[in-house]
Chains A and B, each alone.
Chain A
Amino acid sequence: KAGVTQTPRYLIKTRGQQVTLSCSPISGHRSVSWYQQTPGQGLQFLFEYFSETQRNKGNFPGRFSGRQFSNSRSEMNVSTLELGDSALYLCASSLTASYNEQFFGPGTRLTVL
């Protein structure tokens, strides 16, 4: 069974630009969560989607948004990029919306210059 895939793996953007990251969950998994990981803040929860609906949202500004499609694939978008948005963005999928046994993708390394 294929794992969680994320594209692209690496991305370099400049301040003010916007970016869209993609996540394909494990087949059959309907819940997708997004996290931001930085050396200083560790893993921080961004949002969770289940059945195309956002169930929970972390404490991030409105520049961070996401969506989920009917095939459970998810995208997250960051608009008006800031230097502090440089991070590893991780997507995790689980069977249901209860977070149990989340499986992570390899992440997208975003660098904002």
Chain B
Amino acid sequence: GQQLNQSPQSMFIQEGEDVSMNCTSSSIFNTWLWYKQDPGEGPVLLIALYKAGELTSNGRLTAQFGITRKDSFLNISASIPSDVGIYFCAGQGNNDMRFGAGTRLTVKP
């Protein structure tokens, strides 16, 4: 389906730094999902958000479902080398699932 607006496209950070990425859409979604994809593998679900305003954490990851239901962000705190990969947001509407183009994260030790 039509892609969501995900930014930034790529990030180069030092180990230990915090990271923030976000997705926006012109459409309202019922669910926001964040995935991480390693090279040659399928995306792995990190966090699922079901309610506007919801803030959910999974270890060093925190994500929020925007109040307008048209956006979401993902934060990674104290990054480590294994955080390297491509992070995708996905928005689920009534009958479709749309993905962001991905944020490529590089972590320098």
Known: A44-B1, A109-B40. A103 touches B99 (CB 8 A): no
Write the chain B residue with the least CB distance to A9. Answer: B40
What 1/0 mask marks residues of chain A from 77 to 113 whose CB sits below 8 Å from any chain B CB?
0000000000000101000001111111111010000
Known: A33-B97, A44-B1, A45-B97. A100 touches B92 (CB 8 A): yes
A4 to chain B, nearest CB (A): 7
> Is A107's CB under 8 angstroms from B97's CB?
no
B43 to chain A, nearest CB (A): 5
List the A side residues contacting B97 at CB < 8 Å. 33, 45, 99, 102
> Is B96's CB under 8 angstroms from A100's CB?
no
Write the chain B residue with the least CB distance to A6. Answer: B42
Number of interface residues of B (CB under 8 A): 24
Q: How far is the CA of A6 from the CA of B1 in the complex (A)?
A: 22
> Is B42's CB under 8 angstroms from A104's CB?
yes
B50 to chain A, nearest CB (A): 8
List the B side residues contacting A6 at CB < 8 Å. 42
5 closest residue pairs by CB, A with B: A104-B42, A43-B99, A99-B92, A45-B1, A104-B43
A20 CB–B CB distance under 8 Å: no
List the B side residues contacting A44 at CB < 8 Å. 1
